[in-house]
């Protein structure tokens, strides 16, 4: 037998094999048993409303649940009456599909379904970032087949992400964020009911604090979160699986990064120091890599949604950031546990990870609107600004000390608020709930776990209202 080129018939058979719901009308049991994200209903509203020759792109870091979201989408479409063989999924993580254009794959899918018309078909292209010029191809295929819906998923951001107007003209984009603390509580409450009350007693705050530590340590490991019982081995295995997905796969090759061990070492350095102020020069010194390599790694890790940089606030130049110093946060708090070991409430690093968890909640709003400020060696952790870069509120994250800030630190927060016309500040603590007036500023003290929970809940509720 001579060496043969892979025949078209084999690719068609592979398409049929991967789309098993054409026969059994249901998705894999593994995904069917997973709880649907709170964001699923919002995503489905977009799926149902796309009718303007634009494709829909589901974005998010690897291991965050995009595949589960797409599987739930398939089942929801079948449940509402869409014929199962009108829904086609192609994953570019499967080697046999790599090297084929979207136009070629659509033609092969039509042959697999045994139809000549693509009208009212749903095409889902998973891991589309592996396709050359995928944005242009997806945009063109949506125009060529205006009566079909094309959904792509990518673990890398859209190139035009910084030009939101241009992006919105090309695609409907939906960013799936990490699991929020609110969602985590909702899921865990189904497995191990929590009794809530409006007073939030010291005992209940203690329970919330423990759940916050659980969220930080394994809150985005899907199989662990939904388990009725959780043990150390389960967390370790899921953490290893998560690391394999985000660090050991071949996404870096798409960015011309071929020394994976260097990237992984750099990522570990960032995860261990999540929330600590740094600079390119310092990162270059600590890692031993050139400044150009550090910048390349930072840009890559941010583009795959793995980190978030927050820059130092300055009012000297309204139109420019002070880019010399910044703080790097991992977007998924559980990454630190996967790389190292679980934290407990008394660890030195816990305060930084609590801050990382709080910022992770705010990242459910897809806008760059946060800075930090450093004054007399006191850092004000989160400063929200408006479009003119004027501060609108400030939050300082504390955890180690039960009563938050020392008097001199409180004076600095008050000074910042008065300077920019803010009448209040938020200060998180481990357990204290209080309101402390100081000069012309009111300081609200709130346990970090409750604050984290409330943010996630409010953001989700606002999004659900906006999409009604």
**CA–CA separation, 433 and 448 (whole Å):** 10
| pLDDT tens digits along 78-111 | 999 999 999 999 999 899 998 899 999 999 999 9
Q: How far is residue 130 from each of residues 138, 250, 257, 369, measured CA to CA in Å?
A: 13, 10, 15, 31
Query: Tens of pLDDT along 229-259?
Result: 777 777 888 788 888 777 767 778 778 888 8
Q: What is the pLDDT of residues 321-355, one digit of tens each?
A: 557 899 999 999 999 988 998 999 989 899 999 99
Smallest CA-to-CA distance from 124 within 92, 98, 96, 95 is with: 92
| pLDDT level of residue 2 (50, 70, 90 thresholds) | confident
- Confirm if 208 and 450 have CB atoms less than 8 A apart: yes
Distance set, CA 444 to CA 9, 133, 141, 241, 360 (Å): 66, 50, 53, 40, 21
In tens, the pLDDT along 388-434 reads 889 999 999 988 765 667 777 888 888 899 999 999 999 999 988 88
Q: Is the pLDDT of residue 46 over 50?
A: yes
Domain residue spans in the chain?
Answer: 8-175, 181-466
413, HSE (Cβ side, Cα atoms, 13 Å) = 32
What is the spatial distance between Cα 166 and Cα 54, in angstroms, rounded to a whole number? 12
For range 44-71, the mean pLDDT: 88
Superfamily of domain 8-175 in CATH is P-loop containing nucleotide triphosphate hydrolases (3.40.50.300)
Greatest distance between any 2 Cα atoms in the chain: 88
- Of the candidate ranges 170-179, 270-279, 383-392, 456-465, the one whose mean pLDDT is the lowest: 456-465
> pLDDT value at position 311?
92
Rg (CA), the chain: 24
In 3-state terms, what secondary structure has residue 273? coil
Percent of the chain residues past pLDDT 90, beyond the cut: 49
CA distance 449 to 211: 8
* Confidence grade of residue 164 (pLDDT, cut at 50, 70, 90): very low
- Return the sign of the alpha-carbon dihedral for residues 196, 198, 201, 206: positive
pTM recorded for the entire structure: 0.88
Percent of the chain with pLDDT over 70: 90
Q: Is the pLDDT of residue 19 over 80?
A: yes
pLDDT at 194 over 80: no
The residues, any chain, with a CB within 8 Å of residue 37's CB and separated by 6 or more, are: 65, 68, 69, 176, 179, 183
């Amino acid at each position: 037998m001579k060496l043969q080129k892979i025949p078209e018939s084999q690719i068609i058979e592979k398409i049929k094999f991967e789309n098993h719901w054409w026969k059994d009308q249901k998705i894999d049991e593994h995904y069917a048993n997973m709880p649907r994200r709170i964001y699923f209903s919002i995503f489905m509203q977009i799926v149902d409303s796309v009718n303007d020759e634009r494709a829909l792109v589901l974005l998010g870091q690897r291991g965050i649940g995009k595949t589960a979201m797409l599987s739930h989408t398939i089942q929801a479409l079948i449940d509402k009456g869409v014929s199962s063989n009108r829904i086609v999924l192609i994953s570019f993580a499967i080697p046999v599909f790599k090297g084929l254009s979207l136009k070629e794959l659509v033609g092969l899918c039509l042959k697999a379904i045994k139809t000549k018309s693509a009208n009212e078909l749903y095409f889902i292209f998973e891991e589309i970032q592996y396709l050359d010029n995928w944005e242009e191809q997806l945009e063109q295929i949506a125009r060529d087949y205006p009566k079909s819906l094309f959904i792509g998923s990518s673990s890398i951001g859209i190139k035009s992400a910084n030009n939101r107007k241009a992006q919105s003209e090309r695609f409907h984009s939906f960013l799936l964020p990490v699991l929020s603390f609110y969602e985590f509580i909702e899921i865990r409450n189904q497995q191990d009911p929590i009794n809530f009350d409006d007073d939030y007693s010291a005992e209940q705050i203690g329970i919330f604090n423990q759940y916050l530590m659980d969220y930080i340590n394994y809150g985005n490991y899907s199989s662990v979160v939904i388990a009725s019982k959780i043990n150390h081995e389960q967390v370790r295995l899921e953490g290893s699986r998560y690391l394999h997905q985000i660090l050991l796969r071949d996404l870096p090759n798409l960015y011309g990064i071929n020394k994976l061990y260097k990237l992984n070492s750099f990522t570990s350095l960032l995860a261990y120091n999540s929330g600590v102020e740094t600079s390119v020069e310092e990162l270059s010194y600590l890692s031993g890599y050139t400044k150009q390599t550090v910048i390349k790694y930072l840009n890559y890790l941010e583009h795959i949604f793995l980190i978030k940089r927050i820059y130092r606030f300055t009012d000297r130049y309204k139109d420019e950031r002070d880019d010399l110093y910044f703080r790097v946060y991992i977007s998924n708090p559980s990454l630190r546990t996967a790389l190292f070991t679980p934290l407990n409430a008394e660890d030195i690093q816990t305060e930084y990870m609590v801050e990382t968890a709080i910022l992770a909640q705010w990242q459910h709003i897809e806008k760059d609107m946060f800075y930090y400020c450093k004054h007399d060696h006191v850092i004000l952790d989160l400063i929200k600004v408006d479009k003119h870069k004027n501060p609108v509120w400030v939050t300082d994250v504390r955890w180690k000390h039960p009563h938050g800030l020392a008097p001199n630190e409180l004076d600095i927060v008050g000074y910042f608020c008065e300077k920019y016309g803010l009448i209040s500040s938020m200060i998180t603590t481990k357990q204290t709930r209080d309101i402390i007036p100081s000069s012309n500023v009111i300081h609200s003290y709130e346990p970090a776990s409750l604050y984290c929970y409330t943010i996630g809940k409010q953001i989700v509720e606002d999004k659900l209202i906006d999409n009604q």
